[in-house]
Amino acid sequence: MFFERVASLLVKYPRQVALVLLCLFLLGIVGMTGVSMETGSGTYLDKSSREGVIYDSYTERFLSDNAVLLVKCDDPLDPEFLSFLDRLETEVREVRNVDSVQALPDVLKSINHGRLPGSRAEAEMLLGHLPEDLKERLYPSNILTLVLVDVKQGVSTDVSRGVLHNIQSVIESESPPAGVSIEVTGNTAFDEQMEEELSDSLAVLIIAAIGLMGVTLAVLFASMSHRLLPALMVAFGMILTFGVMGFTGINLNLGVVAAFPVLLGLGIDYAIQFQARLDEESRRAPLPEAVRTTIVRTGPAILAAMAATAMGFIAMFISPVPMVKSFGIVSLIGITCCYGVTLLGIPVYALLRNYTPKPAASGRAVEMKEKYDRVLSEIAGKIAKNPVPVLLIAAFVAYGGVVADSSIPIDTNQNTFVPPEMPTKLSLNEVTGMVGAVRPLPLLVQGEGVDDYETVVWMDQFGEYTLSRHPELTGVTSAATLIREYNGGVLPSDQAGIDAALARVPQEELKGYLSGHTAAVIDLATVDMEMGAQDRVKTEVMADVGWMRPPPGIEVDPTGDYDMFTSLIANIATSKAEMTYLGFVLIFAYLVLVYRKRYAISPIIPLVCIVGWNAVGMLVLGINYTPMTACLGSMTIGVASEYTILMMERYGEEMREHGDPHRAIREGVQKVGTAITVSGLVTACGFSALVLSNFQIIANFGITTVIAVGFSLIGAIIIMPAALAVVGGGKRRVEVETQQGDAASSADGV
């Protein structure tokens, strides 16, 4: 048997195994250096999907990164300030890979024969000659102006970030006039600062989780020798997990960051069970024999529980959201590493340190534990006698959660995920508030001959049509509008006229809307809207495309960040249910195949209830669905299945010993209930570290996971006995016992 061989190896060669573990630890540290942070479209959109291919085609052909310099001053039209800004603009334009820069000085010079205004009055007069949209974009208020910087098209993200850093260096090298402040914002700056915040948040979460669990262990395991050993094992497991990620190229993202405290909670649960069994066995047998017994008996049981937990994480693989998939992948890696480290590490530590259990505890702590055991036994006995009312109440609440689940809003706005006081978020919000949404709704027009007369006419007519139908749309820009602009406000009447007009459009303007003969873009400017409203507008616009069809051979698709984040709503709505259903199917199949007993399906009953209760908890607390909470159902199945399976296994053990379902339920809950409660509390402490995150999406996920653990304990201690009574035949046995008891009472009376 595998575990017997492992036990023999550890007992014979503890030092050699310790050396192997040390090498793995060092290898994990090396691998950690290869882990990098990932944000942006790759965490929300599967790049192998059709939408992902369209998104990449659009960004590669038409998008160039941009930065916005938010310049605050007393008076943007002051000649001294304009002179400074002109000098800054010139230096920024010379930064490598900067394609263009637009600001007040160059715009005013373009209509003033290349000269800056000499007075404020002249500047104000020139400002009045600017188009209204350009004026609002560059001069949104009398104390603020914007400098718009476009990076060369097609450069990589790393190059774009290098441009951003060089621009920041230029700003820092300047000496602005008194009262002038400059902030660099934009999507790249936002993503970069988000990655920095995520890295800091991960370090805080892991330290906080280990600290909280350490305190909990110190209190609840005061009678245990080497009581902080589980925390040491789980820390080792986390380092090994990071190492595997580094060697396999798995990057950090919001999902992975949220996964680590969850792994800490699960990992320490495995370590607690191993050490508790080792402590128990070492009280009645020599240490080598105690180690052997612990590995042979506890190893398979925890492996079975871990495999059940893995079913919930495997269900996440069907999610179309890469962030959720990475949560599932890293969770599988993490629980495997934690289990392996615990299986080998605790016995090796015990053998090398000559583990000696503390003397049997006594006093108030023992009295409280015994009292809690009795209470659990009494509750389980009453539930076993009356399982149906308990199950009906639990099912009623769960059904309410299932019904209410569809009314819980889905939030996919990245801006709401990040810390509310993050500087680039504040500055980006400020820019958005002044000039409107910085992300328009782009429609990618693809096909042979997108610059043909028929297609250009369609783009022109469609733009006007959809703009007239939707008040949320504030403007439209396309190759057709540029042709009109450079053709006296009218559209040519034939192909020759179209070609001639296109030749007059400056290439710098045209390249953002036309790419050769096969791709074009229609940009629809929008007002600032909530994500749900954005999704509705996109759906309505695409309905317009279906009604007002483009020429044959031409396809039109929404794309860009607008489409990516709105599509997340539909992806979350469908995948959260699919992941949960698949989780139930996998855990059901696992229970049937592994245990092959009728009562083996009993854990499904509390699992269904717990998933329904989660929705009630989210609704009561006002927590929305996000890419992270969308995986709550499948994650809960994985976590809760461990507690319910441990309860079921103990029931099976008691049944084999006594053959009495009622007694098996009562004694099973009494013997395992306390351990499960302690384990759940320690696990909840690991999960609760997520609440400390300054990322709202992670903090809300932390709240829901803590609630899920609480519900899991209720499901294991309260609902599981009722399920066993019904599925395992306990109810029938209780009735027989009751009849026998009544007969005995009558006999005594006689």
Q: What residue ranges do the domains of the chain occupy?
A: 2-36+221-413+567-737, 65-192, 448-553
Cα–Cα–Cα angle for 725, 726, 730, rounded to 5 degrees: 35
Is residue 609 predicted with pLDDT exceeding 50? yes
Average pLDDT over residues 626-655: 82
Q: Grade residue 18 by pLDDT with cuts at 50, 70 and 90.
A: very high
Indicate if the alpha-carbon torsion angle 357, 363, 365, 370 is positive or negative. positive
Task: Name the CATH topology of 65-192.
Answer: Alpha-Beta Plaits (3.30.70)
Closest CA to 370 of 662, 663, 710, 671: 671
* Contact partners, residue 671, CB within 8 Å, separation at least 6: 373, 650, 654
Give the chain's mean pLDDT: 83
- The per-residue pLDDT for range 1-13, each reduced to its tens digit, is 789 999 999 999 9
- The per-residue pLDDT for range 334-361, each reduced to its tens digit, is 999 999 999 999 999 999 999 888 776 5
Average pLDDT over residues 410-439: 67
Q: For residue 338, what are the CA distances in angstroms to 11, 308, 421? A: 21, 15, 35
Dist. CA 655–CA 288, nearest whole Å = 30
Helix, coil or strand: residue 249:
coil
Dist. CA 209–CA 687, nearest whole Å = 7
445 forms beta bridges with 520, 556
Among 427-431, 603-607, 679-683, top mean pLDDT goes to 603-607
Asked if 123 and 75 count as a contact pair (C-beta separation under 8 A), the reply is no
Q: Grade residue 740 by pLDDT with cuts at 50, 70 and 90.
A: very low
Dist. CA 716–CA 739, nearest whole Å = 29
Looking at residue 459, its pLDDT comes to 94
Is residue 429 predicted with pLDDT exceeding 70? no
Name the residue with higher pLDDT: 547 or 410: 547
Task: Name the CATH topology of 2-36+221-413+567-737.
Answer: Multidrug efflux transporter AcrB transmembrane fold (1.20.1640)
Q: For residue 236, what are the CA distances in angstroms to 231, 339, 344, 467, 678? A: 9, 11, 12, 59, 22
Query: Looking at the whole model, is its pTM more than 0.85?
Result: no
Is residue 74 predicted with pLDDT exceeding 80? yes
% of the chain residues with pLDDT over 90: 23
Is residue 580 predicted with pLDDT exceeding 80? yes
Average pLDDT over residues 430-450: 75
Dist. CA 46–CA 270, nearest whole Å = 34
Q: Grade residue 748 by pLDDT with cuts at 50, 70 and 90.
A: very low
Q: What is the DSSP letter of 43?
A: G
Looking at residue 698, its pLDDT comes to 81
Average pLDDT over residues 395-401: 91
Asked if 670 and 742 count as a contact pair (C-beta separation under 8 A), the reply is no
Looking at residue 555, its pLDDT comes to 94
% of the chain residues with pLDDT over 70: 92
Name the residue with higher pLDDT: 539 or 186: 539
- The per-residue pLDDT for range 471-513, each reduced to its tens digit, is 988 889 999 999 998 888 888 889 999 999 999 988 878 888 9
Backbone angles phi, psi at 23, to 5 degrees: -65, -40
- The per-residue pLDDT for range 124-145, each reduced to its tens digit, is 888 888 887 778 778 888 888 8
Asked if 513 and 440 count as a contact pair (C-beta separation under 8 A), the reply is no
